[in-house]
Structure formats: C-alpha cells, structure tokens
Amino acid sequence: MAAVLTSRTDTLSKYMKLDQKGNIMAEYIWIDATGATRSKSRTLKEQEWTPENLPTWNFDGSSTGQAPGENSDVYLKPIAVFSDPIRLAPNILVLAECWDHDGTPNKFNYRHECAKLMEAHAVHEPWFGLEQEFTLLDLSDRPYGWPVNGFPAPQGEYYCGVGTGKVVQRDIIEAHYKACLYAGINISGTNAEVMPAQWEFQVGPCEGIAMGDHLWVARFLLYRISEEFGAKVSVHPKPIPGDWNGAGLHSNFSTKEMRVEGGMKHIESAIKKLEGRHQEHIAVYGEDNDKRLTGRHETGAIDTFTWGVANRGASIRIPREVGVKGYGYFEDRRPASNADPYRITGIIMETVFGSVEE
Ligand code: ADP
Ligand code: MN
Ligand code: MN
Ligand code: MN
Ligand code: MN
C-alpha cells in the first residue's frame, strides 16, 4: 500500500523556506465596496520599507465594485506596514488606501476623512479599543458544531467556555492571536462568545487613526488564517435569528482629559453629545444592525439612546471600575460587527470635538 510520506502542509513549508535572493513579497491589502478585505502580492527588493518609500500600486476597480469598467484603475496608496506572519520576515503586509485616477479618495475610502478628524483633534490624544465579535461557519454557512437539523443547547455555558461541546475551532483563534502579535498589531485579548461558534478579539488601546489600521489588518489575518483552516468568517451582526446573541464591535473610547482625575465630567459631556446625534451614529454603525439592536441579548434598542454604569443593555456603558474611580473611558455598544472602524472612530471624534474645516 502506498504510504503518504509527507502531508500537503509539509510540502508547502519546504517551499516557504526557500531563499528569496534579496527579494521580499509585499502583500498589499485594501478594503473593497462591501467591507471585505482584498489583497495582492508584488516583489520588492529587501530593504527598510515604510509607507513613504513604498510604491503606489493599482488594481482593477471594476472587478471589486469600486470603479466603472471604462475607467477602472484604482490606486493603492500605502499607509501602514506590518510584518507578515504568513510568509514570515522579511516579507511584509502593506495596508493601502484606495484613490481614484483623478486624485480624489475612492468612494469606499473611509480612512481619508477619519485621518483628517484624528489629526485636527490630536491634542486630545484619543484612544480607542474595539471588540471584534464574529462567527465561524462551515462551508454550508452553518456555525461550526451546530447540528445540521436543529440547534445546540441554549446559551449559557459558551461565553468564555472551556471544553468540548462548549467551544469549537479554538485553533483558529490561537493562530490568529499569535499572528497578530507577530505582525505588530496591538491585539489586547480574545474570548469565546455567548453564542456557540462565536468568538471575539480586542484591539487597543490604539491612538487615533491607528485604531482603524490595526483592526483592518487583524480582520484581514482572521479571514486569511481561517481560509487555511477551511472555515468561513461571518461578521453579520445577527447571524442566527432568534434567541441567539448577535455580534457587535463595541467601541471603547477615552481622551487625555477623561483618563485623569476629574475625567467623569468629560465622559458625561461626551455622552450628552452622542445622545444628540444617535441617528447619525446608527447610520454608520453597520448594516443589518436593526436585527441585532433589539433591546434584548445585551443590547440597547436601535431607536433609543441610553447609558449607564455597568449596564450592558444600554447604548453606552461606563465600566463599573471607571464609575468607582471617577475617570477612565466609556464603551459605545452600538456598532455592529460589520461596521467600518474608520467610520466609527471618525464620527465619535466629529461628535465630541466637531467637524473639520474644509
Ligand atoms: P468588555 O468587558 O466590554 O468585554 P473587553 O475587555 O473585551 O471589554 O474590551 C475592552 C477594550 O477597551 C479593550 O480593547 C481595551 O484595549 C480597551 N480600553 C481599555 N482602556 C481603554 C481606554 N482608557 N481608552 C480606550 N479604550 C480602552
Ligand atoms: Mn491583470
Ligand atoms: Mn469584550
Ligand atoms: Mn463580547
Ligand atoms: Mn464590550
């Protein structure tokens, strides 16, 4: 009987170790019209690469819904560089902004406006920490470990669960965590979520525009690594209707003034401003968020703005510890798991500190 001597993974790793003869592979990553990440590779000489000296590149925007066919070139402007945990050093990941041929930001480039707001209000040293929830699906779009016909036992023992029957696909979460650390992403933790096959990772605190940059590359790595494990990632805010928790992108926020003694009055004044622009925030806090923000399953209702200390059914939660100390940060629980972090952090800055003069 013919024995299989090496696995496919072993075969791949043999090639991944080959000498690159002074070249590196740069994986350019961008965000498409639907909020998915896309990427393509190019060869560069081995040297210190930064957003300033990396070449601008382009792609066919008509194939991604980002440009019309008759004028399809969209430019990729490098804006952040990370170590590549898939191909390993000296290879790199390059996060890029999308620009049109006429020198204006692409319609789906939400980073550009966000960066302007961050720059204009940088003296407040805004920190963000985002909690990315997501669900791992099999190839038939069923959450992993769920019976084909029927449902798992009701929620209760899955959140931060340990053990067979409580969590699935932990290897993906472990691989992703390590990969983020290797890449240089400011990942701050992970946990299993309330619905089985749902997980969370947190990124932050990150200052200003770095929040969106780090979260987008962390998302790219989650999709890329799950691809290797044969799992699909869903960031839909309510993947399974009914008595199953939805998925959010809780956004924790603080400024220099909020983080020191007396900070609570700055926290409360920011919350007042958020209250006045609830609908504007909901409009950019993700698609299908109405299916999640029902007022049940640890959410507030989509049409009302509420806040409170340690209240996980509110729009805004002030953590208990912050309430006791009198300073720190607050959590905006409204954003959906599929929201764009540039739009979330951008509108928080705009609401709290005002828009940018053109
Ligand atoms: P939860 O109790 O809501 O599940 P997590 O521990 O999952 O909270 O996430 C908390 C997030 O808040 C982390 O991303 C962390 O980096 C962020 N965070 C902590 N302190 C601050 C701060 N001062 N400003 C902004 N974000 C913060
Ligand atoms: Mn081609
Ligand atoms: Mn959390
Ligand atoms: Mn959570
Ligand atoms: Mn939270």
Average pLDDT over residues 223-250: 97
Beta carbons within 8 Å of 260's beta carbon, 6+ residues apart: 327
pLDDT band at residue 3 under the 50/70/90 scheme: low
What pLDDT does 2 receive? 54
Mutate to test the pocket of ligand 1, among 202, 206, 251 (most ligand atoms within 8 A of CB): 202
Mutate to test the pocket of ligand 1, among 133, 177, 252 (most ligand atoms within 8 A of CB): 252
What pLDDT does 68 receive? 87
pLDDT band at residue 134 under the 50/70/90 scheme: very high
Tokens of 338: 């599929």
For 89-109, the pLDDT digits (tens) are 999 999 999 999 999 999 999
Please return the burial class of 286, using the count of CB atoms within 10 Å of its CB with bins 0-12, 13-18 and 19+. Answer: buried
Please return the burial class of 216, using the count of CB atoms within 10 Å of its CB with bins 0-12, 13-18 and 19+. Answer: buried
What pLDDT does 4 receive? 62
**Residue 71 reports pLDDT greater than 90:** no
**Residue 217 reports pLDDT greater than 90:** yes
Contact 178, 85 (CB under 8 A): yes
- Name the packing angle between helices 341-353 and 111-120 (round to 10°): 30
Enter the pTM of the model.
0.97
Choose among 182, 203, 222: nearest CA to 84: 182
For 265-311, the pLDDT digits (tens) are 999 999 999 999 999 999 999 999 999 999 998 889 999 999 999 99
Average pLDDT over residues 34-63: 96
Q: Does residue 202 have its Cβ closer than 6 Å to ligand 1?
A: yes
Q: Chain-wide mean pLDDT for the chain?
A: 96
What pLDDT does 219 receive? 98
For 185-194, the pLDDT digits (tens) are 999 999 999 9
Q: Does residue 124 have its Cβ closer than 6 Å to ligand 1?
A: no
CA-130 nearest atom, ligand 1? 14
Average pLDDT over residues 168-172: 97
**Ligand 1, atom 1: closest residue by C-alpha:** 131
ipTM exceeds 0.85: yes
